[in-house]
Amino acid sequence: MDSYKYYLAIDIGASSGRHILAHLEENRMVLEEVHRFPNGMVEKDGEHVWDVDELFRQIKLGLKKCAQLGKIPVSVGVDTWGVDFVLLDGDGARIGNAVAYRDGRTRGMDEEVYKIIPEDELYARTGIQKAIFNTIYQLMALKVKKPEHLEKAHTMLLMPDYFHYMLSGVAATEYTEATTGQLVSPETKDWDMELIERLGYPKRIFQRMVTPGTVLGELTAEVQAEVGFNCKVVEPATHDTGSAVIAVPTDSDDALYISSGTWSLMGTELMEANCSPESKANNLTNEGGYGYRFRYLKNIMGLWMIQSVKKEIEDEEASMGNQLRGDGAAEADESVEEDGQEI
């Protein structure tokens, strides 16, 4: 094993994930990809969901590869996309599926929310653009369609928070990720509990808010036994764009960025959120950033269309392949004698 200190970043997007080891070498940051794996929504129980069990298996597999390389990280942190969450009961067991933001359960839930708080007031209060998949609408979908899930729930963890919980056993909510859901105050930088109470969501499920750099703890004994080492679990900016935007120069007030993935995000950084009617009219959003800066940005289609076409082509090719294999199997059956030996 060499003498470098390694730090492991696990970046999970809507179509793939990767483990990147970083270390300093002669005052340069050296990055090494040690593991990459696919991701995507799957259908289960009539819902579009994330296979979080498989994703956590891949997280541990990447950790094992670090051990195999002899490059044990000092710390590990996970970032993902925004808004989606997992509910846990009092024993820490998952309730229902990890439903994906593109599922149709939030259809019409905006109107349910606006019966309680008008849309203009909601924007002025949170600074977050309307997107029908935001956490605020997903929770309303549960309240309306599956209230028993909220009644049983003791903990809500957004996607990266859930993986950190599985790694460390510690439940917390990271600020940059939480802001994407439209339930955080840009003034207090914390859950807007008055809003949450008005909406009728159980306050107990909302965990303490922490910021990037917070040390949650170490790997659980179970994870240590499986991957072969221990390290710290440290919160990055757990929203993937929140981590990406840290690289934007902060010495200029007119620096713009474009961060591209499944979505493309174009914007700038502000020290104070712009929650004005004009900002709302332009559908701009004020997501939380590192150091309590605000990612003032606009969502653009991004690569989702390309990813969708690619999946359709792959599915069609797989279907054709299965059909050909089926035809081949039928022909093989016809060429087998009664004693089971192929001619």
Q: CA 176 from chain center: how many Å?
A: 11
Q: Which amino acid type is present at position 266?
A: M
Q: Which of 11, 240, 333, 339 is catalytic?
A: 240
Structure tokens at 135: 């956490």
Is 339 buried (19+), middle (13-18) or exposed (0-12) by CB count in 10 A? exposed
Q: How much is the CA Rg of the chain, to the nearest whole Å?
A: 23
223 touches 230 (CB < 8 A): no
The full length of the chain comes to 343
Instruction: Provide the CB-side half-sphere exposure for 291 (13 A, CA).
Output: 9
Any bridge partners for residue 86, and if so which? 157
289 touches 189 (CB < 8 A): no
Q: Is 240 noted as a catalytic residue in this protein?
A: yes
Say how far apart CA 67 and CA 76 lie, in whole Å: 13
Which 3 state secondary structure label does DSSP give 199?
Answer: helix
Nearest-10 Cα torsion for 128, 134, 140, 144: 150
Q: Which amino acid type is present at position 36?
A: R
Which 3 state secondary structure label does DSSP give 157?
Answer: strand
User: In b/e form, how buried is each residue of 257-294, taking b as 16+ CB within 10 angstroms?
Assistant: bebebbbbbebbbbeebbbeeebbeeebbbbbbbeebb
Residue whose structure tokens are 């809500």: 156
Say how far apart CA 124 and CA 339 lie, in whole Å: 79
The residues that are catalytic are 240
